[in-house]
Amino acid sequence: MQMSHRVLAILSLTIFAVLPSNVAPAAEKPMMKAVVAHKYGGPEVLKFEQVPRPELKENEALVRVIASGVNPADPLTLSGKYAREFGTHLPLIPGYDIAGIVEKAGAKVTKLKAGDAVYGYPTFGGGWAEYVNVTEGEVAAKPASLSFTEAAAVPMGALTAWQALIDVAQLHSGQTILIHGGSGGVGSFAVQIAKARGARIIATASTANQDLIKQLGADVAIDYTKIKFEDVAKDVDAVLDPVGKETLARSYGVVKKGGIVMSLVARPDPVELEKRGIRGAAISAHPDAEDLAEIARLIDAGKIKPVVTQVLPLSEAIAAQQQAATHHTRGKIVLRVADEPKS
Protein backbone atom coordinates (compact mmCIF):
# COMPACT_ATOMS: atom_id res chain seq x y z
CA MET A 1 0.00 0.00 0.00
CA GLN A 2 1.39 3.42 -0.93
CA MET A 3 1.59 6.12 1.72
CA SER A 4 0.18 9.56 1.02
CA HIS A 5 2.50 12.54 0.62
CA ARG A 6 1.03 13.94 3.86
CA VAL A 7 1.96 10.82 5.87
CA LEU A 8 5.53 10.82 4.47
CA ALA A 9 5.94 14.44 5.43
CA ILE A 10 4.77 13.76 9.01
CA LEU A 11 7.18 10.82 9.33
CA SER A 12 10.07 12.93 8.04
CA LEU A 13 9.33 15.68 10.55
CA THR A 14 9.09 13.13 13.38
CA ILE A 15 12.48 11.58 12.52
CA PHE A 16 14.09 15.03 12.33
CA ALA A 17 12.59 16.01 15.70
CA VAL A 18 14.10 13.07 17.57
CA LEU A 19 17.68 13.70 16.38
CA PRO A 20 19.96 14.58 19.33
CA SER A 21 20.18 18.34 19.89
CA ASN A 22 24.01 18.21 20.02
CA VAL A 23 24.41 16.99 16.42
CA ALA A 24 25.94 19.90 14.48
CA PRO A 25 26.01 20.40 10.72
CA ALA A 26 29.28 19.61 8.92
CA ALA A 27 31.96 22.18 9.76
CA GLU A 28 32.47 24.85 7.15
CA LYS A 29 35.95 25.33 5.72
CA PRO A 30 37.87 28.28 7.25
CA MET A 31 37.95 31.19 4.81
CA MET A 32 40.46 33.94 4.11
CA LYS A 33 40.80 37.10 2.03
CA ALA A 34 42.95 36.72 -1.08
CA VAL A 35 43.72 38.21 -4.46
CA VAL A 36 42.71 35.62 -7.06
CA ALA A 37 42.87 35.25 -10.84
CA HIS A 38 40.23 32.90 -12.26
CA LYS A 39 41.58 33.40 -15.78
CA TYR A 40 44.90 34.46 -17.26
CA GLY A 41 45.41 38.01 -18.46
CA GLY A 42 46.48 41.46 -17.28
CA PRO A 43 46.14 42.97 -13.79
CA GLU A 44 42.43 43.57 -14.41
CA VAL A 45 41.67 39.82 -14.05
CA LEU A 46 42.61 39.93 -10.36
CA LYS A 47 39.75 39.79 -7.86
CA PHE A 48 39.83 40.53 -4.12
CA GLU A 49 37.60 37.90 -2.53
CA GLN A 50 36.97 35.30 0.16
CA VAL A 51 38.38 31.84 -0.58
CA PRO A 52 39.00 28.68 1.50
CA ARG A 53 42.27 28.57 3.42
CA PRO A 54 44.83 26.16 1.94
CA GLU A 55 44.66 22.64 3.36
CA LEU A 56 47.83 21.72 5.22
CA LYS A 57 49.92 18.76 4.05
CA GLU A 58 52.17 16.91 6.48
CA ASN A 59 55.38 18.36 4.95
CA GLU A 60 54.10 21.96 5.02
CA ALA A 61 53.62 24.79 7.48
CA LEU A 62 50.71 27.22 7.40
CA VAL A 63 51.92 30.84 7.55
CA ARG A 64 49.75 33.79 8.55
CA VAL A 65 50.92 36.37 6.04
CA ILE A 66 51.71 39.88 7.31
CA ALA A 67 53.08 41.27 4.04
CA SER A 68 53.82 40.11 0.51
CA GLY A 69 56.09 41.60 -2.14
CA VAL A 70 55.27 42.56 -5.73
CA ASN A 71 57.72 41.52 -8.46
CA PRO A 72 58.34 42.59 -12.06
CA ALA A 73 57.99 38.92 -13.04
CA ASP A 74 54.45 38.68 -11.61
CA PRO A 75 52.77 39.83 -14.87
CA LEU A 76 54.46 36.92 -16.68
CA THR A 77 52.91 34.45 -14.26
CA LEU A 78 49.53 36.16 -14.47
CA SER A 79 49.59 36.14 -18.28
CA GLY A 80 49.61 32.34 -18.40
CA LYS A 81 52.21 32.33 -21.19
CA TYR A 82 54.62 30.40 -18.99
CA ALA A 83 52.10 28.33 -17.04
CA ARG A 84 53.88 25.06 -17.84
CA GLU A 85 57.34 26.42 -16.93
CA PHE A 86 56.10 28.03 -13.71
CA GLY A 87 53.83 25.13 -12.76
CA THR A 88 50.87 27.46 -12.27
CA HIS A 89 47.20 26.60 -12.58
CA LEU A 90 43.88 28.38 -12.14
CA PRO A 91 42.53 29.73 -9.89
CA LEU A 92 45.83 31.50 -9.23
CA ILE A 93 46.84 33.45 -6.13
CA PRO A 94 50.02 35.42 -6.96
CA GLY A 95 52.64 36.38 -4.38
CA TYR A 96 56.18 34.98 -4.42
CA ASP A 97 57.56 37.06 -1.53
CA ILE A 98 56.13 36.58 1.94
CA ALA A 99 56.81 37.49 5.53
CA GLY A 100 54.63 36.21 8.32
CA ILE A 101 54.18 33.98 11.34
CA VAL A 102 53.86 30.18 11.34
CA GLU A 103 50.34 29.27 12.45
CA LYS A 104 50.82 25.49 12.53
CA ALA A 105 53.21 22.88 11.17
CA GLY A 106 52.54 19.53 9.54
CA ALA A 107 53.56 16.25 11.13
CA LYS A 108 56.74 15.87 9.05
CA VAL A 109 57.96 19.45 9.56
CA THR A 110 60.92 19.57 11.96
CA LYS A 111 62.48 23.03 11.52
CA LEU A 112 59.39 25.23 11.86
CA LYS A 113 56.94 25.62 14.71
CA ALA A 114 53.92 27.77 15.55
CA GLY A 115 54.93 31.33 16.39
CA ASP A 116 58.11 31.42 14.25
CA ALA A 117 58.60 34.66 12.30
CA VAL A 118 59.65 33.69 8.76
CA TYR A 119 60.24 35.13 5.33
CA GLY A 120 60.59 33.37 2.02
CA TYR A 121 59.62 32.45 -1.51
CA PRO A 122 56.72 30.00 -1.95
CA THR A 123 57.48 28.12 -5.18
CA PHE A 124 53.95 28.32 -6.54
CA GLY A 125 52.99 31.70 -5.08
CA GLY A 126 49.95 32.16 -2.89
CA GLY A 127 51.36 35.05 -0.87
CA TRP A 128 48.66 37.57 -1.78
CA ALA A 129 46.39 36.07 0.84
CA GLU A 130 45.94 35.95 4.59
CA TYR A 131 47.43 32.44 4.74
CA VAL A 132 49.82 30.41 2.61
CA ASN A 133 51.40 26.96 2.87
CA VAL A 134 55.19 26.67 2.63
CA THR A 135 57.79 23.92 2.88
CA GLU A 136 60.90 24.09 5.04
CA GLY A 137 63.03 24.68 1.95
CA GLU A 138 61.13 27.83 1.00
CA VAL A 139 61.47 29.96 4.14
CA ALA A 140 63.97 30.99 6.79
CA ALA A 141 63.87 33.00 9.99
CA LYS A 142 62.91 36.60 9.28
CA PRO A 143 65.83 39.05 9.61
CA ALA A 144 65.52 40.37 13.16
CA SER A 145 66.41 43.91 12.13
CA LEU A 146 63.55 44.21 9.62
CA SER A 147 59.82 44.69 10.01
CA PHE A 148 57.61 42.13 8.29
CA THR A 149 56.82 44.71 5.61
CA GLU A 150 60.51 45.29 4.90
CA ALA A 151 61.27 41.56 4.99
CA ALA A 152 58.57 40.86 2.40
CA ALA A 153 60.52 43.00 -0.08
CA VAL A 154 63.56 40.71 0.10
CA PRO A 155 63.15 37.03 -0.89
CA MET A 156 62.72 36.73 -4.65
CA GLY A 157 64.81 39.75 -5.63
CA ALA A 158 67.63 38.94 -3.24
CA LEU A 159 67.63 35.23 -4.14
CA THR A 160 67.78 36.08 -7.84
CA ALA A 161 70.76 38.38 -7.30
CA TRP A 162 72.45 35.96 -4.89
CA GLN A 163 72.12 32.91 -7.09
CA ALA A 164 73.33 34.85 -10.15
CA LEU A 165 76.34 36.50 -8.52
CA ILE A 166 77.38 33.81 -6.03
CA ASP A 167 76.30 30.50 -7.59
CA VAL A 168 76.63 31.23 -11.31
CA ALA A 169 79.23 34.01 -11.69
CA GLN A 170 81.10 33.06 -8.49
CA LEU A 171 81.90 36.74 -8.09
CA HIS A 172 84.78 37.51 -5.74
CA SER A 173 86.89 40.35 -4.43
CA GLY A 174 88.79 42.31 -7.07
CA GLN A 175 86.44 41.52 -9.93
CA THR A 176 84.29 44.09 -11.73
CA ILE A 177 80.60 43.68 -12.48
CA LEU A 178 78.21 45.77 -14.57
CA ILE A 179 74.70 45.74 -13.09
CA HIS A 180 71.95 47.13 -15.28
CA GLY A 181 68.93 48.57 -13.49
CA GLY A 182 70.82 49.00 -10.24
CA SER A 183 67.87 50.66 -8.50
CA GLY A 184 65.33 47.92 -9.33
CA GLY A 185 64.02 45.00 -7.34
CA VAL A 186 66.88 42.67 -8.30
CA GLY A 187 69.52 45.28 -9.15
CA SER A 188 69.35 47.00 -5.77
CA PHE A 189 70.20 43.69 -4.06
CA ALA A 190 72.82 42.79 -6.66
CA VAL A 191 74.72 46.03 -6.00
CA GLN A 192 74.78 45.35 -2.26
CA ILE A 193 75.70 41.67 -2.58
CA ALA A 194 78.52 42.51 -5.00
CA LYS A 195 79.76 45.14 -2.52
CA ALA A 196 79.71 42.61 0.30
CA ARG A 197 81.84 40.30 -1.90
CA GLY A 198 84.44 43.03 -2.40
CA ALA A 199 83.78 43.52 -6.11
CA ARG A 200 84.00 46.77 -8.05
CA ILE A 201 80.53 47.79 -9.21
CA ILE A 202 79.41 49.72 -12.26
CA ALA A 203 75.65 50.25 -12.15
CA THR A 204 73.17 51.90 -14.48
CA ALA A 205 70.02 53.77 -13.46
CA SER A 206 67.92 56.72 -14.55
CA THR A 207 68.75 60.30 -13.53
CA ALA A 208 66.41 60.18 -10.54
CA ASN A 209 68.11 57.08 -9.10
CA GLN A 210 71.77 58.05 -9.38
CA ASP A 211 72.05 58.94 -5.70
CA LEU A 212 70.37 55.69 -4.67
CA ILE A 213 72.74 53.37 -6.55
CA LYS A 214 75.71 55.26 -5.10
CA GLN A 215 74.28 54.86 -1.59
CA LEU A 216 73.80 51.14 -2.21
CA GLY A 217 77.47 50.77 -3.08
CA ALA A 218 78.04 51.44 -6.79
CA ASP A 219 81.60 52.62 -7.46
CA VAL A 220 80.59 54.01 -10.86
CA ALA A 221 77.04 55.24 -11.47
CA ILE A 222 75.92 55.57 -15.10
CA ASP A 223 72.85 57.59 -16.10
CA TYR A 224 71.70 55.49 -19.05
CA THR A 225 69.48 58.33 -20.28
CA LYS A 226 72.56 60.47 -20.92
CA ILE A 227 75.54 58.14 -21.39
CA LYS A 228 76.10 54.88 -23.26
CA PHE A 229 77.21 52.34 -20.68
CA GLU A 230 79.72 50.80 -23.12
CA ASP A 231 81.60 54.12 -23.19
CA VAL A 232 82.33 53.67 -19.48
CA ALA A 233 82.23 49.93 -18.75
CA LYS A 234 85.05 47.99 -20.39
CA ASP A 235 86.63 44.57 -19.72
CA VAL A 236 84.25 43.66 -16.91
CA ASP A 237 84.18 40.18 -15.40
CA ALA A 238 80.40 39.91 -15.31
CA VAL A 239 77.19 41.59 -16.46
CA LEU A 240 73.78 41.23 -14.82
CA ASP A 241 70.99 42.17 -17.21
CA PRO A 242 67.31 42.46 -16.19
CA VAL A 243 66.40 44.42 -19.34
CA GLY A 244 67.19 42.30 -22.40
CA LYS A 245 66.85 43.36 -26.05
CA GLU A 246 69.21 46.19 -27.02
CA THR A 247 70.74 46.41 -23.56
CA LEU A 248 71.71 42.74 -23.67
CA ALA A 249 72.97 43.01 -27.26
CA ARG A 250 75.28 45.89 -26.33
CA SER A 251 76.54 44.14 -23.19
CA TYR A 252 78.54 41.37 -24.89
CA GLY A 253 81.20 43.82 -26.03
CA VAL A 254 82.06 45.08 -22.54
CA VAL A 255 82.92 41.65 -21.08
CA LYS A 256 86.51 40.44 -20.96
CA LYS A 257 87.43 37.05 -22.38
CA GLY A 258 86.35 34.31 -19.99
CA GLY A 259 83.78 36.60 -18.36
CA ILE A 260 80.03 36.02 -18.15
CA VAL A 261 76.79 37.71 -19.24
CA MET A 262 73.74 36.80 -17.15
CA SER A 263 70.23 37.78 -18.19
CA LEU A 264 67.02 37.55 -16.22
CA VAL A 265 64.78 37.96 -19.26
CA ALA A 266 66.48 36.24 -22.20
CA ARG A 267 68.90 33.51 -23.17
CA PRO A 268 72.27 35.05 -24.13
CA ASP A 269 73.11 34.67 -27.82
CA PRO A 270 75.41 31.62 -28.27
CA VAL A 271 76.92 33.11 -31.44
CA GLU A 272 77.99 36.27 -29.59
CA LEU A 273 79.32 34.23 -26.66
CA GLU A 274 81.46 31.99 -28.86
CA LYS A 275 82.71 34.88 -30.97
CA ARG A 276 83.93 36.78 -27.91
CA GLY A 277 85.09 33.84 -25.81
CA ILE A 278 82.70 34.58 -22.97
CA ARG A 279 80.07 32.62 -21.07
CA GLY A 280 76.36 33.25 -20.79
CA ALA A 281 73.53 32.20 -18.49
CA ALA A 282 69.78 32.69 -18.33
CA ILE A 283 68.98 33.29 -14.67
CA SER A 284 65.86 32.14 -12.85
CA ALA A 285 65.65 32.11 -9.08
CA HIS A 286 64.55 29.18 -6.96
CA PRO A 287 63.59 28.97 -3.27
CA ASP A 288 66.48 28.07 -0.98
CA ALA A 289 66.24 28.25 2.80
CA GLU A 290 70.04 28.24 3.26
CA ASP A 291 70.48 31.18 0.86
CA LEU A 292 67.68 33.05 2.66
CA ALA A 293 69.41 32.43 6.00
CA GLU A 294 72.70 33.76 4.63
CA ILE A 295 70.97 36.82 3.19
CA ALA A 296 69.28 37.41 6.56
CA ARG A 297 72.69 37.34 8.29
CA LEU A 298 74.01 39.99 5.90
CA ILE A 299 70.89 42.10 6.46
CA ASP A 300 71.25 41.91 10.25
CA ALA A 301 74.95 42.78 9.85
CA GLY A 302 73.97 45.96 7.99
CA LYS A 303 75.43 44.82 4.65
CA ILE A 304 72.11 44.57 2.77
CA LYS A 305 68.89 46.53 3.10
CA PRO A 306 65.70 46.37 1.05
CA VAL A 307 64.46 49.43 -0.82
CA VAL A 308 60.69 49.71 -0.27
CA THR A 309 59.12 52.35 -2.47
CA GLN A 310 55.46 51.89 -1.65
CA VAL A 311 53.27 49.93 0.75
CA LEU A 312 49.68 49.27 -0.33
CA PRO A 313 46.84 47.29 1.25
CA LEU A 314 46.15 43.86 -0.22
CA SER A 315 42.93 45.19 -1.74
CA GLU A 316 45.00 47.44 -4.05
CA ALA A 317 46.91 44.57 -5.67
CA ILE A 318 45.70 45.56 -9.14
CA ALA A 319 47.35 48.99 -8.87
CA ALA A 320 50.52 47.37 -7.51
CA GLN A 321 50.59 44.89 -10.38
CA GLN A 322 50.11 47.66 -12.95
CA GLN A 323 53.09 49.52 -11.52
CA ALA A 324 55.26 46.38 -11.44
CA ALA A 325 54.45 45.75 -15.11
CA THR A 326 56.17 49.03 -16.07
CA HIS A 327 59.56 47.60 -14.97
CA HIS A 328 60.46 51.07 -13.71
CA THR A 329 59.80 50.61 -10.01
CA ARG A 330 62.44 51.91 -7.61
CA GLY A 331 63.14 49.00 -5.27
CA LYS A 332 59.99 47.08 -4.36
CA ILE A 333 56.27 47.55 -3.79
CA VAL A 334 54.87 45.62 -0.82
CA LEU A 335 51.28 44.62 -0.09
CA ARG A 336 50.31 44.82 3.57
CA VAL A 337 48.08 41.86 4.38
CA ALA A 338 47.80 42.31 8.16
CA ASP A 339 48.99 44.74 10.82
CA GLU A 340 52.57 44.37 12.03
CA PRO A 341 52.59 42.33 15.28
CA LYS A 342 53.39 44.31 18.39
CA SER A 343 56.79 43.34 19.75
How far, in Å, are 55, 120, 186, 239 from residue 262 at the CA level? 38, 23, 13, 6
Q: How confident is the model at residue 173 (pLDDT cuts 50, 70, 90)?
A: very high
Q: Give domain 31-154+306-336's CATH number out of 3.90.180.10, 3.50.50.60, 3.40.50.300, 3.10.110.10.
A: 3.90.180.10
CB 149 within 8 Å of CB 99: yes
Q: Which residue has the higher pLDDT, 4 or 170?
A: 170
Please, what sign has the CA dihedral across residues 111, 290, 214, 327? negative
What's the pLDDT tens digit per position in 225-273? 999 999 999 999 999 999 999 999 999 999 999 999 999 999 999 999 9
SS3 assignment, position 292: helix
Tell which residue, 167, 164, 163, has the closest CA to residue 179.
164
The pLDDT value recorded for residue 7 is 40
| Least confident range of 11-25, 37-51, 89-103, 157-171 | 11-25
Beta bridge partners of 32: 51
DSSP 181-235: STTSTTHHHHHHHHHHTT-EEEEEE-GGGHHHHHHHT-SEEEETTTS-GGGT--S
The yes-or-no verdict on residue 17 having pLDDT over 70 is no
CB 106 within 8 Å of CB 58: yes
What value does the mean pLDDT take over residues 203-214?
Answer: 97
CA 135 – CA 132 distance, rounded (Å): 10
Tell the burial category of 327 from Cβ atoms under 10 Å away from its Cβ (0-12, 13-18, 19+). Answer: middle
What is the H or E stretch that residue 299 is in?
helix 289-300
What value does the mean pLDDT take over residues 55-71?
Answer: 97
157-282 classified as CATH 3.40.1580.10: no
% of residues, the chain, pLDDT over 90: 82
Q: How confident is the model at residue 343 (pLDDT cuts 50, 70, 90)?
A: low
The yes-or-no verdict on residue 18 having pLDDT over 80 is no
What's the pLDDT tens digit per position in 274-307? 999 999 999 999 999 999 999 999 999 999 999 9
The yes-or-no verdict on residue 6 having pLDDT over 50 is no
Beta bridge partners of 134: 61
Does the pTM exceed 0.85?
Answer: yes
The pLDDT value recorded for residue 327 is 67
Q: What are the structural domain ranges in the chain?
A: 31-154+306-336, 157-282
